[in-house]
Amino acid sequence: MKEFVLIFRLNNHSDFKPSPEQMQERMNWLGSIAAQNKLADQGNTLSSVNARTVYPDNVVTDGPYTEIKEFVSGYIIVNTETIEEAVELAKANPIFKIGGNIEVREVMVRRSGL
Amino acid sequence: MNQGNSFRTELLPHLFRQEYARMTAVLCRHFGLKHIEVAEDIASETFLKASELWAVNGVPENPSAWLYTVAKNKTRDYLKRVNIFETQVRGEFERDTPQIEPETDFTPQTIADSQLAMIFAVSNPDNPGESQICLALQILCGFSIEEIADAFLARKEAIKKRLFRARASLRKNEFQISQLQETVVKSRLDTVLRTLYLLFNEGYSSRSNNHLIRKDLCAEAMRLALVLIENPLTNTTRTNALLALLCFQSSRFEARLDAAGEIVLYEEQDKSLWDQELIDKGNYYLVNACSGNEISKYHLEAGIAYWHTTPAEVDKWLHVLSLYNQLILIEYSPVTALNRAFAFAKVHGNEQGIKEAEKLNLNENNYYHSLIGYLYVAINIDKAIIHYRKAIELTKSPAERKTLTRELERLILRQG
């Protein structure tokens, strides 16, 4: 088993509030992964309001935005044999209905002494 | 006076279970856990004397009070004997007999405190779950080894072995039973609740066919949970949530088995057999459980059980699914995953439910096949039959095999 982080990205919707139906859909998606016993860490939602970006020379800006007006809204970690399987799990997420996307990245386990 | 033989078959076993456990708890607190055998011997001798005398003289007016007086005298005699041995026979040898007050008292407060302390002593996080329940049944509930073996559908020898190890660790553990410290309560309460939860489940979905034993297991779990509720130290929102869950589940106890002892499916249950008094109690403890911010697995399970006491609500299954979504995040178990899939099918239809269930990868689980079989009935009867057959092949419970076989025969008839 390997661990993969699913990173959720949304477009610039800092005031976006999900509807109860959307919440329900998201909970169903998460519950489904947990029911397959493939959830390693249910992760967190990251605030889009209480956010700063720190640049060199003590430059600090408001917000989490990168230049392409996308921000990371949260993450979870799944446990699967392959990255393809993790991608399949991601495909069922309702985030695509609201214009978001998901980045899937394998967690590289740090070996001691390196 | 209650003459006759009925006391041997009815009154005595009942009294024995109830009072033996209480007596042992009080005496153990008195002597310390190291000497649990002494406490058990005194309790056993007391009951032996009762069964001999009551058979001849009839049962006294207040049997419990009678038993406690005899136990008290036997304790005094024991301590006198030990003392003589210590001072006159053994002399300068090292003493490891208990140094304690010669008087025991059996007031309701002492009994309640002793039982609570005993629950915590027995709930050792280092013991595996199954030995934990065996130990609880023997020490907290006064069950005999035969009865425990019957409840677990195990051989007596296996239960003896399990108990032997668990009791050895109980004696060695040096658990301070005389006074229950707040820190101990904090660190062990979760194990205590888990023990009671397992105890109840063992009765509720037991492998045993013995209906009476199963009912007793459930009743004992509830009784012990009530002991926790009655002490401010252990009356937490989590404890209330657990007791609410046990009340809701028990309310359907009579409805879920038919006259022949076969399991009646939830949807086919005679709802007039549901125990409204227990449902009301469940509601009461659930409200108490929700007085804080905490959401434990017991809260979620009690919430689900609550919805199951309301047959006709519109959004019922939506709520149930949402609770299962949260429950599976707290703790994965195949049973929760399958129950969640069932709720999913109730909300999104059987076809979606089948897809959801098939993702679970539980091919060797009998419930997996009976669930998918059930969901296929209206869609594809051939597939339903295949899954029911697989479930029958995999199940270890005779009651369940009967229920599934009955269902399978019905399907084969319909298939024509």
Each residue's pLDDT tens digit, B151-201: 777 788 999 998 988 888 888 776 777 677 788 888 889 889 988 998 898
Is residue B24 within 8 Å of residue B41, measured between CB atoms? Answer: no
A25 to chain B: which residues are within 8 Å by CB?
none
Query: Is residue A40 included in any domain, yes or no?
Result: yes
B144-149 own/partner pairs: CB under 8 Å, 24+ apart: B147/B213
Cα atoms in the Cβ-side hemisphere of radius 13 Å centred on B370:
20
B356 to chain A: which residues are within 8 Å by CB?
32, 35
Contact call for B356 and A36, based on CB within 8 A: no
Write out the residue range of the structural domain in which residue A86 sits.
Answer: 2-106
Query: Is residue B237 included in any domain, yes or no?
Result: no
Q: What is the pLDDT of residue B400?
A: 81
Q: What is the pLDDT of residue B225?
A: 95
Query: CA nearest A23 in B: which residue?
Result: B322
* Cβ pairs bridging A and B (under 8 Å): 43
Between positions 315 and 374 of B, the ones with CB within 8 A of A are 318, 321-322, 324-326, 328-329, 332, 336-337, 340-341, 344, 356, 359-361
Query: Is residue B11 included in any domain, yes or no?
Result: yes
> What sign for the dihedral angle of Cα B117, B121, B124, B130?
negative
Q: What is the pLDDT of residue A12?
A: 65
Contact call for B361 and A24, based on CB within 8 A: no
Query: Is residue A112 included in any domain, yes or no?
Result: no
Is residue B138 within 8 Å of residue B148, measured between CB atoms? Answer: yes
Average pLDDT, chain B: 85
Our measurement of the distance from residue B118's CA atom to the centroid of its chain's CA atoms, rounded to an integer in Å, reads 15
Q: What is the pLDDT of residue B257?
A: 75
pLDDT in tens, B82-104: 877 666 665 554 455 555 565 67
**Dihedral pair phi/psi, residue A54, rounded to 5°:** -105, 130
Of A24, A30, A36, the CB nearest to B360: A36
Higher pLDDT, B150 or A56: A56
Q: What is the pLDDT of residue B315?
A: 87
Write out the residue range of the structural domain in which residue B101 sits.
Answer: 1-106
Grade residue B3 by pLDDT with cuts at 50, 70 and 90: very low
| Chain B interface disruption, residue of A21, A26, A28, A29, most B CBs within 10 A | A28
Give the three-class secondary structure for A102. Answer: strand
Question: For residue A38, what is the domain's CATH number?
Answer: 3.30.70.1060
Is residue B248 within 8 Å of residue B302, measured between CB atoms? Answer: yes
Query: Is residue A114 included in any domain, yes or no?
Result: no
Query: Is residue A27 included in any domain, yes or no?
Result: yes
Is residue B42 within 8 Å of residue B27, measured between CB atoms? Answer: yes
Which DSSP string corresponds to B225-292?
HHHHHTSTTT--HHHHHHHHHHHHHHTTTTTTB-TTSPBPPGGGS-GGGS-HHHHHHHHHHHHHHTTS
Query: Is residue B152 included in any domain, yes or no?
Result: no
Identify the domain boundary among B81, B106, B131.
B106
Of A24, A30, A36, the CB nearest to B329: A30
Query: Is residue B161 included in any domain, yes or no?
Result: no
Query: Is residue B63 included in any domain, yes or no?
Result: yes
Count of structural domains within chain B: 2
To the nearest 10 degrees (0 to 180), the angle between helices B12-31 and B63-84 is 40
For each of chain A's 114 residues, which pLDDT tens digit applies?
899 999 999 886 655 677 888 889 999 999 999 999 999 999 998 888 888 888 899 888 887 766 667 888 899 999 999 999 999 999 999 999 888 899 999 999 877 655
CB contact burial B165-188 (16+ within 10 A = b; e otherwise): ebbeebeeeebebeebeeebbeeb
Percent of chain B residues past pLDDT 70, beyond the cut = 89
Number of other residues whose CB lies within 10 A of the CB of residue B332: 15
Tell me the mean pLDDT in the region B54-75. Answer: 87
B20: pLDDT strictly greater than 90: no
Cα atoms in the Cβ-side hemisphere of radius 13 Å centred on B234:
29
Q: What is the pLDDT of residue B212?
A: 72
Compute the distance between CA of residue B344 and CA of residue B372 in angstroms, rounded to an integer: 12
Count of structural domains within chain A: 1
Question: For residue B321, what is the domain's CATH number?
Answer: 1.25.40.10
Query: Is residue B294 included in any domain, yes or no?
Result: no
- Kindly state the tokens that stand for A13: 């919707």
pLDDT in tens, B255-270: 887 776 667 777 778 8
Is residue A104 within 8 Å of residue A5, measured between CB atoms? Answer: yes
**Tokens 């058979």 label which residue?**
B55
Q: How close B170 comes to chain A (CA, Å)? A: 35
Cα atoms in the Cβ-side hemisphere of radius 13 Å centred on A75:
15
Compute the distance between CA of residue B223 and CA of residue B229 in angstroms, rounded to an integer: 10
Between positions 3 and 62 of A, the ones with CB within 8 A of B are 24, 27-28, 30-32, 34-37, 39, 42
Beta pairing partners, A11 = A70
Beta pairing partners, A5 = A77, A105
- For residue B47, give the nearest of B82, B79, B100, B11 by alpha carbon: B11
- Kindly state the tokens that stand for B326: 């949260």
Query: Is residue B407 included in any domain, yes or no?
Result: yes
Tell me the mean pLDDT in the region B285-304. Answer: 94
Query: Is residue B170 included in any domain, yes or no?
Result: no
Q: What is the pLDDT of residue A112?
A: 66
In chain A, DSSP finds a helix count (H) and a strand count (E) of: 2, 6
Identify the domain boundary among B85, B106, B127.
B106
What DSSP state is assigned to residue A46? P
Rounded to two decimals, the pTM is 0.82
- Containing B302, the helix (H) or strand (E) segment is helix B297-308
Identify the domain boundary among B106, B139, B173.
B106
By the CB < 8 Å criterion, does B222 face chain A?
no
Contact call for A24 and B322, based on CB within 8 A: yes
Query: Is residue A111 included in any domain, yes or no?
Result: no
Grade residue B2 by pLDDT with cuts at 50, 70 and 90: very low
